[in-house]
Each structure stands twice: as C-alpha cells, then as structure tokens.
Amino acid sequence: MAEPKQESLDKMWKYVKGFAEKSGTTMHPTPAVTEAVVKGLAMHMDELGKPLCPCNFYKDKQAEAKLRRWMCACDEMQIYKYCHCLLFVREDGLPITEYLPEGHEGREVYGVVTDPTPEKGRALKHKALAQEGNPLAK
C-alpha cells in the first residue's frame, strides 16, 4: 500500500495539532483513527498539493481540490464545528453536532452533541444561514 512522504505527514500532524488547539477540539481517543485520517490528508498533499478531506468520495479529485469546501479544515468544520472524519472531536470521541442544521446526517447519527468550548472555532459561523438549501446543510 502506498505511503505518503514523511514531509507531508509531518506537515499534516503539525497542522492537525494546531487546528485542534485553535478550534477547541481534541484528537480522537483511539490513536489509529487520527493516524488514518492524517495519513489520508498527507496522501492528498502528495497527490494534489492540497489537504483534501480523505473521508469523502470525489468523482473528480482534481476539480474538487480547486474548491475550498473540502479542504481541511473544511466548511463543515469552520461553520458548524463538525468533523465527519472524527479527526477533531470532543474528549469522549464524539463529533460536535449541536450547530448542524436539523436533518443533517451528523445529527441523525450522533444526536445533539454539545460543544464544550463554544468560545473557540467556527471561524465561518456567519455562513451557517447562507448554507440553507446548500448540500452541506442537508
């Protein structure tokens, strides 16, 4: 199985640790979860030059990499503080869902999961309403 370059892995670990701190989230309590996602991000750095979210299927990765929405930290994280990869979670390993629109799959899967650090993260929260009718607000 292909492995990412060490340089890309180092870069992504640094980014992930920094973003967790900045957003008031933590990495998953099962290290293998975090390692798998960081590796996926590093593979995308090698392939696309961008940290495209590794937990989605893309019909055209190159085209998607030109957009902002699924660059880590993606729009869902920046707007709703929700990480469906479980990279940025609470200490109990659950993803924060309290800001997601009702009906979003994250709310259906996990119910309402509150944010222990509401003063941190959500740099794009002003876009939450604008997302209504957008696939991200499904």
Q: How far is CA 124 from the centre of its chain?
A: 14
**Which DSSP state fits 87?**
S
Task: Pick the binder of ligand SF4 from 77, 79, 100, 136 (CB under 6 A).
Answer: 77
Q: What is the dihedral angle through the alpha carbons of 71, 24, 79, 112, rounded to the nearest 10 degrees? A: 120
Residue 8, both tokens? 């890309």
Q: Is 87 in the site for ligand SF4 (CB under 6 A)?
A: yes
The nearest distance, CB 36 to ligand SF4, in angstroms, is 11
Task: Pick the binder of ligand SF4 from 72, 89, 96, 137 (CB under 6 A).
Answer: 72
Task: Pick the binder of ligand SF4 from 53, 79, 89, 96 (CB under 6 A).
Answer: 53
Q: Is the dihedral of CA 68, 18, 24, 114 positive or negative?
A: positive
* CA angle in degrees (0–180, nearest 5) for 110-41-25: 45
Q: Mark the segment that binds ligand SF4 (CB under 6 A) among 7-15, 68-76, 111-119, 123-131.
A: 68-76
Contact residues for ligand SF4, defined by CB under 6 A? 37, 53, 55, 70, 72-74, 76-77, 83-85, 87-88
Positions marked catalytic:
55
